[in-house]
Structure formats: structure tokens, C-alpha cells
């Protein structure tokens, strides 16, 4: 056991001593029964001799076993990173286990990834460029283009291998992913003009897509012509990128003409049609987009949820959200289930254009399909329901159900939404619920608008509950709101009707003291007798 677990003093020998920080380390190195060399499994512990407080203990030192024999890579005290070389290198072929290596690299903090990658690659022998490309592509696929480019920059240190067409293609893709499109094109030009390689169609398409997303259509079409010069045939995906780019900058007619030409040489896919449909919808030609959808189905293509969402956006933008209701029905009939975007787009359009009943049905359908409306739209939806309930009282119950659901889900209810709900309850003669929610607003620190207080005062006076209406006047002080002329007029009018002349005079005097002159005046006994 002594040989397997050397003492700390044994480690403090040159050259190890210079590699260790000023704190003791204890290592346990496990050996295999049939191998003399260590397997790379180790235990690291850092102990503080100056403090007994666990919170003050130094964090673990990081050590990497890079060779089959002992070698320590010193690092600053930061955190423990366990690296078992045998997990990353196949002992039979001495080649990388790419997924394990990429996973280990990604587990490191961002600042340490490049350092680890550089150190590890220098210690590894790549037998073929194919091995190198596998690792390069794995880093690209793992959304690590910076690390991939860092790896490529060190390729010159390997005298035994040279980059091939696939190497440069991956590098170009990495630049595209970083949105460095000029660099990506520079790599393509280099591989064609100086190396004599031909990039694959997917790499060129990725660069075309990057230019189209930025609205640089001229650069994109130059690449299309470049493909023709090197004998690289565009795919339907290549054309789809160009179609989206053309529609993005408003060149819809040209996109439609390109679609016609595409059909002469190859079969478009549903994304081809969806790209042109999106262009039509953005310029207010949703009916033509619908015709394209029908044409796609006639060709045996199956529209997807993106195709239908494009139509929802178009019809709602044109102020025709009810057309979207028909699209929703058609969508379900064709076994294409709407997603959250489908429902939220349609619901927003219906609310925007005042189609409240249809919005309510769509909302219920959306919830029934397992989707939840976001907080902002719920506030908008509730406000529309409340306003509509003033004229259509049967909608008050739906509004209140939405209101209660928002509270249960702890949504933030806007002050204006809360106030409109109280006003709707007052209009619908739900006085108790209105009072409860008014008290809730004040307890939560809201300051209800004077209009909300006046709605409750009016409802209480209409219900013969003038005593409670007078109490609401005092609540206005708690809610940091000054009664206005309407507040006093409502109370004075009701007190006059009940012939509570003294009370009417007191309210009138209170108004004058606050600088408010009511339109209603207390009745005198003479006026009453007349």
C-alpha cells in the first residue's frame, strides 16, 4: 500500500515540487493487475493547515494525467476536473474516442477549454486526416465552433497529415455558425483556387443561407453562380434558402417565378412552398398563399405546422382573423396539430380585431389542447372580455373565470386589468365580489383609479347600500386617491333621494374643503316641501 499511496513528502521532489501549489496533496494511484503503467485514476485532496473553518478551505487543485506515465499539468486552485485518459483514447488503436473527448471538453469552464484542448491535442498522435476531421466535426456539431477553429489552427504542427476538402468545409461551416460570413467565403475561395478542392453542396448552401438571412442577396446569388462554375448542383434546400431571402427583402414576385422554374427541374418540398407562402402573407396576399398550400397538397406534399402558422400570421395581419378559424379547422382535419404559436397568433389577431366571442372559443380550444396563454396575452384577453361584458352580461362569468385562473397561476395582473374586472363586476351587479377584489388591490399595495371607486359607489347606491358607499369614500384615502366630482355627485344624489339632508350637506361640505365643487347640491327643506 505504501507504494500505491506515496507520502506528501515524497511528492515534494524536483521536478514535481515546482508543479504543486503551497498546500499538501495526497494521491492514490490504482494499478491494474496486468499492467505496470498507471491507468490514470487518481484522487486529489487539498487540506488547509491554517484554518479549521470548512468555508475557508481552499478549492481543489486540478491535475491532468496526460501521458501513460506520471506527468502533472499544474493549474491554479479552482475546481476539480477528473480526466481519465483511457476513457478518451482507444488502447488498441491509440485513436480518440471523439464523443467522450468532446463531452469532457464541454464540461470544463469556458476559459479553460482552449488550454485543455491545446494540451491534449499536442499529446495525441493523429494517424490520418480522417481522425482529425472526426474531432473537428464533432466540435462543430456540439456547437463549439471556436474550439473547432482553435483545433484547426494547430493542424500545421502535425507534419504527417494535410487538410483535405472536408477539413476546409468544416472550417467554413464553423465561420458560418459564428456569422463570420466573409471568413467563411475566404476559406471556400482558398480551397478552390489554391488547393484545388471542391466544397460540398451543404457547405455552400450554409453560406448562402447566412447571406440570405442578412439580406445580402447579391452575395448569395454570386455563390449560386459559383456552384455552377465548379459543377456543384444546387439542391432543393439551396433554393429554399434563396426563396426565403428573396421574400425577406420583399421580392415576392421574383420568388414566385423562381418557384415555377424549380418545378421544371426538380420536385419542391413543403419548405419551398412555405417560403413563398410566407412572402405572400407578408405583403397582404394571404389568399394566394392559401392557393399555394392547396397546390402543394395536390403534388402529394404534406403541409406542416409552419405552413399553417404562416397563414395565421397573414390573415391576422390583414384584419381577417376569422379566416384563420377556418384554417385551424382544416389543419386539424388533415391531422396536423396546431402548436403554441398557432393558437397564440390566432388569439392575438382575434383580440386585436375585436372578435371576442371567437377569441373566447379559441382560448378554450387552446387550453383544451394542453397549451397555456402567456401572462401578457391573458391580461389583454381579460380586458377585452370585461369591456364586452358591459354590453353582453353573459360574458361576465367567462371573464371572472379567466381572472381567477390568473390569480391561481400567480400571473401579474395589470392595474388596468384589475380595475376593469372590478368595473365589470359592478356593472354585472356582483357587488360583493367587486368589494372583495377592491380590498385585495389595496392590500397588495395597488392604488385603484378613481374610476374604479366610482363604479363601486354607483353600484352600491343603485343597490340601496348608501352606508357602504360612504365607507368606500374613506377607502379612497387608503388607496391614495382623491374623490372627484362624480364621486360626490353620486353620494349627494342618493342622499337627497333618501331625504338624508344632513348627510348630503356634510358630503357637499367635504367636497368644498377639498376644492371640488359638485354639480349636485343638498336639497333644502324648502325644496323638499315643494
pLDDT by residue (tens digit) across 392-407?
A: 999 999 999 999 999 9
**Residue in 2, 20, 3 with CA at minimum distance from that of residue 11:** 20
CB-neighbour burial class of residue 487 (10 A; exposed 0-12, middle 13-18, buried 19+): buried
Cβ of 94: how many Cβ atoms within 10 Å? Answer: 12
pLDDT at 287 over 70: yes
Omega of the bond prior to 172 within 30 degrees of 0, cis? no
Averaged pLDDT, 442-449: 89
| Interatomic CA distance for residues 516 and 518, integer angstroms | 6
pLDDT at 422 over 80: yes
What tens digit of pLDDT does each residue of 7-28 get? Answer: 434 433 444 334 334 333 333 3
pLDDT at 313 over 90: yes
Please give the pLDDT value at position 37: 37
Query: How many residues are there in the chain?
Result: 530
**Residue in 379, 434, 370 with CA at minimum distance from that of residue 403:** 379
Name the 3-class secondary structure at 231.
coil
- Model confidence, pTM: 0.74
pLDDT at 65 over 70: no
Q: Is the separation of the CB atoms in 20 and 6 below 8 Å?
A: no
| Interatomic CA distance for residues 129 and 167, integer angstroms | 8
* Least trusted range by pLDDT, from 5-14, 133-142, 326-335: 5-14
Q: Is the separation of the CB atoms in 172 and 132 below 8 Å?
A: no
Averaged pLDDT, 500-513: 92
Amino acid at each position: 500500500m505504501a507504494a500505491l499511496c506515496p507520502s506528501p513528502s515524497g511528492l515534494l521532489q524536483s521536478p514535481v515540487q515546482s508543479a504543486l501549489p503551497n498546500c499538501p496533496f495526497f494521491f492514490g494511484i490504482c494499478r491494474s493487475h496486468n499492467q505496470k503503467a498507471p491507468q490514470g485514476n487518481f484522487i486529489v485532496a487539498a487540506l488547509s493547515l491554517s484554518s479549521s473553518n470548512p468555508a475557508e478551505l481552499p478549492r481543489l487543485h486540478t491535475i491532468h494525467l496526460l501521458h501513460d506515465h506520471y506527468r502533472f499539468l499544474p493549474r491554479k486552485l479552482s475546481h476539480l476536473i477528473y480526466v481519465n485518459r483511457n476513457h478518451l483514447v482507444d488502447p488498441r488503436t491509440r485513436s480518440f474516442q471523439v464523443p467522450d473527448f468532446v463531452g469532457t471538453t464541454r464540461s470544463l469552464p469556458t476559459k479553460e477549454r482552449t488550454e485543455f484542448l491545446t494540451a491534449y491535442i499536442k499529446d495525441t498522435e493523429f494517424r490520418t486526416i480522417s481522425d482529425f476531421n472526426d474531432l473537428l466535426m464533432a466540435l462543430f456539431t456540439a456547437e463549439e465552433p471556436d474550439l473547432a477553429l482553435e483545433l484547426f489552427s494547430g493542424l500545421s504542427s502535425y507534419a504527417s497529415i494535410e487538410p483535405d476538402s472536408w477539413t476546409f468545409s468544416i472550417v467554413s461551416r464553423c465561420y458560418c455558425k459564428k456569422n463570420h460570413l466573409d471568413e467563411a467565403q475566404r476559406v471556400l475561395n482558398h480551397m478552390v483556387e489554391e488547393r484545388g478542392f471542391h466544397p460540398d453542396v451543404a457547405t455552400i448552401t450554409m453560406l448562402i443561407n447566412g447571406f440570405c438571412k442578412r439580406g445580402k442577396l447579391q452575395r448569395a446569388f454570386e455563390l449560386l453562380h459559383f456552384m455552377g462554375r465548379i459543377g456543384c448542383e444546387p439542391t432543393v434546400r439551396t433554393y429554399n434558402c434563396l426563396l426565403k431571402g428573396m421574400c425577406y427583402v420583399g421580392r415576392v414576385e421574383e420568388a414566385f417565378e423562381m418557384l415555377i422554374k424549380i418545378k421544371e427541374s426538380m420536385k419542391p418540398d413543403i419548405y419551398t412552398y412555405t417560403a413563398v407562402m410566407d412572402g405572400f402573407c407578408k405583403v397582404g396576399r394571404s389568399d394566394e398563399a392559401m392557393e399555394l398550400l392547396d397546390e402543394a397538397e395536390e403534388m402529394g406534399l404534406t403541409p406542416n405546422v409552419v405552413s399553417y402558422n404562416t397563414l395565421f400570421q397573414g390573415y391576422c395581419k390583414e384584419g381577417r382573423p376569422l379566416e384563420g378559424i377556418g384554417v385551424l379547422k382544416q389543419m386539424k382535419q388533415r391531422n396536423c396539430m396546431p402548436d403554441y404559436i398557432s393558437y397564440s397568433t390566432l388569439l392575438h389577431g382575434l383580440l386585436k380585431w375585436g372578435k371576442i366571442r371567437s377569441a373566447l372559443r379559441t382560448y378554450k380550444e387552446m387550453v383544451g389542447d394542453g397549451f397555456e396563454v402567456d401572462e401578457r396575452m391573458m391580461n389583454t384577453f381579460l380586458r377585452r372580455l370585461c369591456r364586452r361584458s358591459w354590453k353582453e352580461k353573459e360574458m361576465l362569468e367567462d371573464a371572472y373565470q379567466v381572472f381567477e385562473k390568473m390569480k391561481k397561476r400567480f400571473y401579474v395582473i395589470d392595474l388596468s386589468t384589475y380595475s376593469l374586472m372590478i368595473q365589470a363586476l359592478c356593472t354585472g351587479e356582483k357587488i360583493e365580489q367587486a368589494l372583495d377584489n377592491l380590498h385585495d388591490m389595496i392590500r397588495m399595495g395597488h392604488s385603484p383609479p378613481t374610476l374604479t371607486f366610482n363604479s363601486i359607489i354607483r353600484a352600491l347606491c343603485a343597490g340601496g347600500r348608501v352606508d357602504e358607499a360612504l365607507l368606500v369614500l374613506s377607502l379612497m384615502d387608503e388607496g391614495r386617491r382623491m374623490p372627484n366630482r362624480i364621486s360626490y355627485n353620486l353620494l349627494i344624489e342618493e342622499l337627497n333621494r333618501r331625504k338624508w339632508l344632513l348627510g348630503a350637506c356634510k358630503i357637499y361640505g367635504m367636497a368644498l374643503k377639498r376644492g371640488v365643487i359638485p354639480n349636485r347640491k343638498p336639497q333644502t327643506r324648502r325644496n323638499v316641501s315643494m
